[in-house]
Chains A and B, each alone.
Chain A
């Protein structure tokens, strides 16, 4: 129980008439890397956005490190938490977006330094030293004073990873981190992520990069139409997927 970083139970979510998540349950243990695959529109993005409460959920519950996310229990019912405590919970959950979302008016270094200084009140000198270390770790030490507009997609995404890591999160969420990138630069981002996984970071990664899944994932989860239809170690998916839909999906992306 204690080493469950993500504990999602029967999560449901609808946008108007459209039910996007129809009861998703997923546990992620400390140090585990879980890849979520599935066709476009199956609810992968929506699910991981629920994990840091960028989306509200309609029912079910999501716990991170044993704490309910985004809600508070009152008389057996869930009511939305205060903005302040939601923000505090998000400090432990790093998120990497498909479109990077770096702050274009700040240099690479300032992007990384921003939240530790403004949110965690880390002394600036220390935050800068940390940020330099993180930029070096993603191979961008020499880009510290460069603005995002001058970086390639792969470089921007690596800065985005450093920015998320600067908060020392217990969990990292990735939403198709390489799908907006040119094929020749996906490798540099995946390498950083593989390293992170090896070092024991707990990660949930929405991706179609099966090479990455094979190397780094402990578990692969197949989502379709708002439910998890199959999960298992990566080899399982390559050798003996059970569901027809999984087979069809894999044959398309492999």
Chain B
């Protein structure tokens, strides 16, 4: 009860219903960091998964060492190391300015995520019947062509649900980069607190994380429903169905018709 009584509802009200400009920037940073780090993580995970299955032993070893190190050490340590050791320069890409701390944070988040995605992607590939690869090879397809055209598209479906969970985690995990000075949701709350010593800034930011993860839960459930539905009714091509499932706009347009 004490906790509730001591809540400064006014601060919470302000943080939720009257977000200021700095807050908007922080929210955007959290979303952008999550999406970019997850995307890069998936790509790295795919490369590492393919390396793990390579015919060349050095690649397999490299992939193993990668996962070993990045799953075996704290992400916070990785973030600090990337920031202070690499100290990446400020870069300008596509009209965006990536400060040193953002680059280092993104790098650490992506590389760390890649190590986890490798396991997920490998499990997805392993779940595809060996007969698929053999049928492709018996038609004269080479290994990578068969992988790209036959195995990976099927594995993609298996990977979608765990990938969704990873993204849910990622949105919360990005808060760690506040420690190297990235201005994202948590940094925004921390700043509010350090100026006022009102702890309810943290309650308010928890609310915002909850909004993000809850919204994502709905998106995820909806993607999975579409994939399941497309497995039953097969009227669209596989690629179109996957695209439709991933693209709320096209699906919404189709639903509206």
Q: A and B from one assembly? A: yes
List residues of A whose CB falls within 8 A of some B CB.
Answer: 52, 54, 83-84, 87-88, 90-91, 93-95, 97, 99, 101-107, 114-115, 118-120, 146-147, 149-150, 160, 163-164, 167
The residue from A83, A102, A146, A164 contacting B234, defined by CB atoms under 8 A apart: A146
Contact between A114 and B139, CB atoms less than 8 A apart? yes
User: What separation, in Å, do the CA atoms of A117 and B134 have in the docked complex?
Assistant: 18
The interface centre, meaning the residue of B138, B150, B231 with most chain A CB atoms within 10 A of its CB, is B138
B143 within 8 A of A: yes
B237 within 8 A of A: yes
Contact between B135 and A101, CB atoms less than 8 A apart? yes
For the complex of A and B, the 5 pairs showing the least CB-CB separation, nearest first, are A91-B140, A115-B139, A101-B135, A95-B138, A101-B131
Which B residues are CB-close (under 8 A) to A90? 137-140
Contact between B134 and A101, CB atoms less than 8 A apart? yes
Contact between B149 and A118, CB atoms less than 8 A apart? yes
For B138-163 the 0/1 string (1 means CB < 8 A from A) is 11111101000110011000000000
- Majority secondary structure of chain B interface residues (helix, strand, loop or mixed): helix
Contact between A119 and B139, CB atoms less than 8 A apart? yes
Contact between A103 and B134, CB atoms less than 8 A apart? no
Which A residues are CB-close (under 8 A) to B142? 83-84, 87
User: What separation, in Å, do the CA atoms of A102 and B135 have in the docked complex?
Assistant: 8
B238 within 8 A of A: yes
How many B residues touch A, CB cutoff 8 Å? 22
Contact between A54 and B234, CB atoms less than 8 A apart? no
Not counting A52-B138, A118-B145, a sample of 9 additional A-B residue pairs whose C-beta atoms are within 8 angstroms of each other reads: A54-B134, A87-B140, A90-B137, A93-B138, A101-B134, A101-B135, A103-B135, A103-B154, A105-B238
Which B residues are CB-close (under 8 A) to A115? 136, 139-141
Which A residues are CB-close (under 8 A) to B250? none
Subset of 10 A-B contacts with CB under 8 Å: A87-B140, A88-B140, A90-B138, A91-B139, A91-B140, A99-B131, A101-B132, A114-B139, A147-B234, A150-B234
Contact between A119 and B145, CB atoms less than 8 A apart? yes
User: What separation, in Å, do the CA atoms of A118 and B139 have in the docked complex?
Assistant: 10
Q: Which residue of B has the minimal Cβ distance to A98?
A: B131
Contact between A107 and B140, CB atoms less than 8 A apart? no
User: What separation, in Å, do the CA atoms of A97 and B231 have in the docked complex?
Assistant: 24
Which A residues are CB-close (under 8 A) to B131? 97, 99, 101
Closest Cβ–Cβ distance, residue B152 to chain A (whole Å): 10
Q: Which residue of B has the minimal Cβ distance to A150?
A: B234
Contact between B234 and A87, CB atoms less than 8 A apart? no
The residue from B129, B134, B231, B238 contacting A106, defined by CB atoms under 8 A apart: B238
Q: Which residue of B has the minimal Cβ distance to A102?
A: B135
User: What separation, in Å, do the CA atoms of A104 and B149 have in the docked complex?
Assistant: 12
Which A residues are CB-close (under 8 A) to B153? 105
Contact between B234 and A167, CB atoms less than 8 A apart? no
Closest Cβ–Cβ distance, residue A215 to chain B (whole Å): 26
Closest Cβ–Cβ distance, residue B245 to chain A (whole Å): 13
Closest Cβ–Cβ distance, residue A59 to chain B (whole Å): 23
